[in-house]
């Protein structure tokens, strides 16, 4: 029986990156690599944050001298993590620490409860400070990269103008009398596989630079002596002694929605509406308006709200109530006689409602 020929081997399609397809330029590939790196760093940061919150909870447990079972310890770590991630407010965290074990709480009371809550709020403030610093650094890096791209586009536009002027001289034998219009918008793709810099380099190599120099030299005007008319003497701006109007400049300071939120005080809040609920509705509208511009603007709006003097006044009352072991409304009533800026019960309820709506 004759042997059957072996079927041809079919190799799987190669997953290697094909070269010179004319789809992505070198600039595109660098940008893609940069985005992939940023996503990996963000994922790693999230994992590190979860791990660090667990360590913070364990450290608080030691400092407060809490003796918990493994299940209670896990419950405590989740509670601390939810507070640090703004899932629970200070009041909700305090309530769960106080609740009985059967109700899902930790069953703390008295000095132990106050001390534990104080440690959690201290860790919360440290996390907030670190978060603000990180955001500021990331913004500075982003602004720096943005400025570099703008400068690169400007340099590219200048080179393109120079290139067009040289080509005009080479073709017509005359120097250009005005700025040449570019053949394509600044930053437009010239080819699929080469960058703009490479495109300009190749174009410049094709120009006869010697001919360009000759035309420019021949077009230079002959210098002659200046004749000044005695009938109409010229007065220098420097010798006139009168200041130029252009020396006086006014800088405009405009307050956008973010700045308005960040500067909001207790008095401003009371002027926004006849009732705290009306004022709450106006603040919510501002944040919703910014949220329509994207998730980044929404986060910036919520951060501006949390930095506002109004919100800081609420935080001060909440912390004071926690440390004294009193109800937040009772504590606020006790402080009313000492400081007119202390928030009232209805105002506190409105701010709590707003904080519940704008978590991220």
Evaluate whether 261 touches 305 at the Cβ level (below 8 Å).
Answer: yes
Report CA dihedral (313, 316, 320, 323) to the nearest 10 degrees. 160
* Nearest of 90, 11, 77, 18 to residue 50 by alpha carbon: 77
Tens digits of per-residue pLDDT, 266-276? 888 888 888 98
Average pLDDT over residues 54-80: 91
Whole-prediction pTM = 0.32
- Give buried/exposed letters for 137-174 (b at 16+ CB in 10 A, else e): eeeeeeeeeeeeeeeeeeebeebbeebbbbbbbeeeee
Tokens 């606020």 map to which residue? 332
Could you tell me the two tokens for 76? Answer: 């405590």
Tens digits of per-residue pLDDT, 141-152? 777 777 777 777
Rounded to whole angstroms, the maximal C-alpha distance in the chain is 122
Torsion sign (Cα): 280, 83, 93, 118:
negative
Angle at which helix 110-172 crosses helix 209-218, to 10 degrees, equals 80
Separation between Cα atoms, residue 360 and residue 305, nearest integer Å: 13
Report CA dihedral (15, 20, 22, 23) to the nearest 10 degrees. 30
Question: Read out DSSP for 309-331?
Answer: HHHHHHHHHHHHHHHHT--HHHH
* Nearest of 332, 258, 326 to residue 291 by alpha carbon: 258
Q: Which residues, 6 or more positions from 259, have their beta carbon under 8 angstroms from its beta carbon? A: 304
C-alpha distances out from residue 264 to 53, 173, 276, Å: 31, 66, 14
Q: Which residues, 6 or more positions from 66, have their beta carbon under 8 angstroms from its beta carbon? A: 76, 106, 108, 112, 116
Tokens 């609740």 map to which residue? 99
C-alpha distances out from residue 215 to 3, 175, 220, 221, 226, Å: 82, 7, 9, 12, 26
Question: How many residues would you count in the chain?
Answer: 360
Tens digits of per-residue pLDDT, 274-314? 898 888 888 888 888 888 888 888 888 888 888 899 888 88
Evaluate whether 194 touches 27 at the Cβ level (below 8 Å).
Answer: no
Identify the pLDDT of residue 115.
92
Is 10 a residue whose pLDDT tops 70? no
Separation between Cα atoms, residue 306 and residue 285, nearest integer Å: 16
Q: Which of 46-60, 162-176, 262-276 has the highest mean pLDDT?
A: 262-276
Evaluate whether 186 touches 150 at the Cβ level (below 8 Å).
Answer: no
Is 19 a residue whose pLDDT tops 50? no
What percentage of the chain carries pLDDT values higher than 70? 58
Tokens 């001919």 map to which residue? 211
């Amino acid at each position: 029986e004759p042997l059957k020929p072996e079927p041809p081997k079919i190799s799987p399609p190669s997953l290697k990156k094909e070269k010179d397809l004319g789809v992505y330029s070198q600039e595109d590939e660098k940008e893609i690599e940069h985005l992939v790196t940023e996503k990996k760093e963000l994922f790693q940061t999230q994992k590190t944050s979860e791990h660090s919150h667990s360590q913070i909870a364990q450290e608080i447990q030691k400092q407060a001298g809490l003796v918990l079972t493994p299940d209670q310890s896990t419950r405590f770590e989740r509670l601390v993590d939810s507070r640090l991630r703004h899932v629970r407010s200070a009041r909700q965290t305090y309530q769960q620490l106080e609740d009985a074990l059967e109700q899902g709480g930790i069953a703390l009371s008295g000095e132990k409860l106050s001390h534990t809550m104080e440690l959690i709020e201290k860790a919360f403030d440290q996390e907030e400070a670190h978060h603000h610093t990180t955001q500021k650094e990331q913004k500075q890096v982003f602004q720096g990269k943005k400025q570099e791209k703008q400068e690169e586009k400007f340099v590219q536009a200048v080179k393109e103008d120079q290139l067009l002027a040289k080509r005009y001289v080479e073709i017509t034998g005359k120097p250009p009398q005005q700025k040449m219009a570019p053949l394509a918008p600044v930053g437009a793709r010239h080819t699929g596989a080469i960058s703009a810099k490479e495109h300009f380099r190749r174009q410049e190599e094709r120009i006869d630079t010697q001919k360009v120099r000759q035309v420019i030299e021949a077009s230079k005007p002959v210098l002659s002596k200046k004749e000044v008319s005695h009938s109409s003497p010229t007065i220098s701006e420097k010798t006139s002694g009168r200041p130029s109007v252009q020396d006086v400049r006014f800088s405009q300071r405009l307050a956008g929605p973010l700045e308005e939120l960040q500067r909001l005080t207790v008095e401003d809040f009371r002027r926004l509406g006849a009732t705290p609920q009306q004022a709450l509705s106006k603040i919510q509208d501002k944040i919703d308006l910014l949220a329509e511009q994207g998730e980044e603007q929404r986060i910036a709006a919520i951060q501006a709200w949390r930095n506002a003097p109004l919100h800081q006044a609420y935080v001060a009352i909440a912390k004071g109530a926690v440390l004294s072991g009193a109800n937040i409304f009772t504590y606020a009533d006790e402080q009313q006689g000492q400081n007119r800026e202390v928030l009232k019960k209805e105002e506190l309820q409105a701010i709590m409602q707003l904080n519940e709506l704008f978590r991220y």
